[in-house]
Amino acid sequence: MKQKVKRFKYLKGNFSGKYRGERIEFLLSLESLSYQIDFYDCEVTDCKEIISETEIEIKSDKIIERELLKDVLVEYPDESKENVFYQEDLEQVKIIDYHFTDVIKDGTQTYGTIKGTIYSSLGYEEEVDVEVAPISVAPVKIVSTKEKVEINQPAKQVVSEQNSGCLPSFGWALSWILLIALAAWLGASGLLAVGLIGLIGWLISKLFTRFPILGTIFSWIIALLYIGLILFSFIYAFLHPYQSHTPSRNRNDNRPTQTTSSDDSEKNNENPVRDDTRYNADSNDVLIKHAIYWRDYAQNKFSDTTKVWLSTYINSKQNRQNINLYLDSKTEWNRLYSTIYNFDKSNLDSLYSMLSAIKKRNNLSSRQFLDVTVSCIQNIPYSKILDYSCEEERARSRSSSYFITDNTACLGNVEYGIQTPNEFLYNLKGDCDTRTLILYTILSYFKYDVVILCSTTYQHSLLGVNIPSYGTYKSFNGKKYYTWETTNPGWMLGQIPPDVSNLYFWDIFMYNSN
């Protein structure tokens, strides 16, 4: 008969991937430090199958071992002898002669890239012919009750009853409920408490392996402690109403005090103002205007009018709609931004003239003009731009307290979830990447060295500016690009919202050569 049997082949190759690590300080030795490291985005190239047993004998002073490494891109030849990447789960992993690069440390956490040589096994199933042997009954010799019973069969494995009992097992099962409860109600402090108790419990249980009675007593104590903590968490939840700890992706939370007065912010008109006095009979065109009011970071007041021809808006929108991209990589996003930027940058003369006039009229320095320009866009009310309907998003938000509320302005069914600079001037609606793109376009025109920073982890976009400053910055091509949040007033150069502040998860998606 046919039966599937799991086989293994052993591989060797060049390993690379990203890692995140959490430092652990053991209580028994304060000088002993270790890191709990998780790997992701891993791949193995130049992979070959190991046939000789001598190759499997690994000798190295630097070695990392894992029983299982999931979802690894492995490059090895297919049937046509061409190298192809496959996504595999590798077992019995050994990474030797490794080294770390791009290391970022944040408190007890560390992030970076790891490279080295990997040895691992790759499991696969193979059908084999199996012969079914006849069943034979082992002879049993029955003797008197006072004598031994001899059975010609293997002795059964003895199962320790050290952890038997209903309450300890029930207590360990409820620990999962406790983790969920404390994560929701107590946040990081609750998880830290459970983690410390679990670590202490594991260490002490190891010490009691040679003393079963003490181990049983300790299991009961831990079970009761867990149940007590569960009761405490429910009491705490009852006294303190639930609050979500999930950061809002539209950056409406945890912001500095708004620098624009409520009177000024309410003056910014959301609906286009059609100025028929500028009707162009030759082209049957109409000028769309908005009166805007804002204050810079020094509380200086400014006001002006944005203008865009209706035909310019339509052409810009059609250019975006004609783009055909999947947006499944950094390169695709760069192509999207570049296509929009290259089309719109030469069709913003009225905006360039407005800002130039403000600079000249107020005798602004280069740095002052930069603050005035960014604060102008910041003070325009936030609107969510979606590539699906706003009602669908609001329905999600009501169930998850995430993204937007019923009062958040929203523009739905927009391809790629972004508006072009001329679309933004037409309706003054934009979220993070719409705003960073128009500021990138404006500041590039005025010869500032700027970049667009994006994070797929945080699903957010920031502006980056290379000028002498202080605060948070991302290094790129030997330069420091200081971060600038654009979705709400009050954020200054070098500041970044705390919930998106890990720069390891930020990348440069677009830059100029100024």
Mean pLDDT, to the nearest integer, of 44-59? 72
Q: Write down the pLDDT at residue 373.
A: 97
Mean pLDDT, to the nearest integer, of 457-461? 93
Q: Write down the pLDDT at residue 204.
A: 62
Q: Does residue 509 or residue 254 have the better pLDDT?
A: 509
Do residues 410 and 393 touch, judged by C-beta distance below 8 A? yes
For residue 225, name the pLDDT band (cuts at 50, 70, 90).
confident
Q: Which percentage of the chain shows pLDDT scores above 70?
A: 64
Residue 300 clears pLDDT 80, i.e. is over it: yes
Q: Write down the pLDDT at residue 506.
A: 95
Q: Which residues contact 291 (CB under 8 A, 6 or more apart)?
A: 267, 268, 269, 273, 303, 304, 305
For residues 422, 414, 454, 497, the Cα torsion angle rounded to the nearest 10 degrees is 90
Q: Write down the pLDDT at residue 341.
A: 96
Q: Helices 166-185 and 212-239 sit at what angle, rounded to 10 degrees?
A: 30
HEC states along 334-388? HHHHHHHHHHHHHHCHHHHHHHHHHHHHCCCCHHHHHHHHHHHHHCCCCEEECCC
What SS3 class is residue 455?
A: strand
Q: Write down the pLDDT at residue 143.
A: 43
Q: Write down the pLDDT at residue 502.
A: 94
For residue 63, name the pLDDT band (cuts at 50, 70, 90).
confident
Q: Write down the pLDDT at residue 28.
A: 37
Residue labelled with tokens 């059975």: 151
Q: Which residues pair with 84 in a beta bridge?
A: 76
Give one DSSP letter per residue of 80-118, joined into a string.
TS-EEEEEEEEEEEEEEEEEEEEEEEETTEEEEEEEEEE
Q: What is the pLDDT of residues 330-368, one digit of tens each?
A: 899 999 999 999 999 999 999 999 999 999 999 999 999
Residue 114 clears pLDDT 60, i.e. is over it: yes
Minimal CA–CA distance to 485: which of 442, 424, 443, 435?
Answer: 435
Establish how many alpha carbons lie within 13 A of residue 416's alpha carbon, considering only the half-sphere containing its beta carbon: 24
For residue 126, name the pLDDT band (cuts at 50, 70, 90).
confident
Residue labelled with tokens 């003070």: 379
Q: What is the pLDDT of residues 21-34, one digit of tens each?
A: 877 544 333 333 46
Q: What is the pLDDT of residues 463-496, one digit of tens each?
A: 999 999 999 999 999 999 999 999 999 999 999 9
For residue 142, name the pLDDT band (cuts at 50, 70, 90).
very low
**E strands of 260-317, at which residues?**
273-280, 285-295, 301-309
Note the helical H segments in 387-493. 390-400, 421-427, 432-445
185-199, 246-260, 422-436, 452-466: which range is least confident on average?
Answer: 246-260
Q: Which residues contact 208 (CB under 8 A, 6 or more apart)?
A: 214, 215, 218
The Cα–Cα gap between 162 and 160 comes to 5
For residue 76, name the pLDDT band (cuts at 50, 70, 90).
confident
Greatest mean pLDDT among 57-66, 185-194, 435-444 lies in 435-444
User: Could you give the strand order of the β-sheet that contains 507-511, starting from the edge strand earlier in sequence?
Assistant: 473-476, 479-484, 460-465, 450-455, 507-511
Q: Write down the pLDDT at residue 275.
A: 53
The Cα–Cα gap between 225 and 168 comes to 10
Mean pLDDT, to the nearest integer, of 451-458? 94
Q: Write down the pLDDT at residue 181.
A: 57
Q: What is the pLDDT of residues 237-285, one digit of tens each?
A: 454 433 332 223 343 333 343 333 334 443 454 455 555 456 565 567 8
Do residues 16 and 114 touch, judged by C-beta distance below 8 A? yes
Q: Is the pTM of this model over 0.85?
A: no
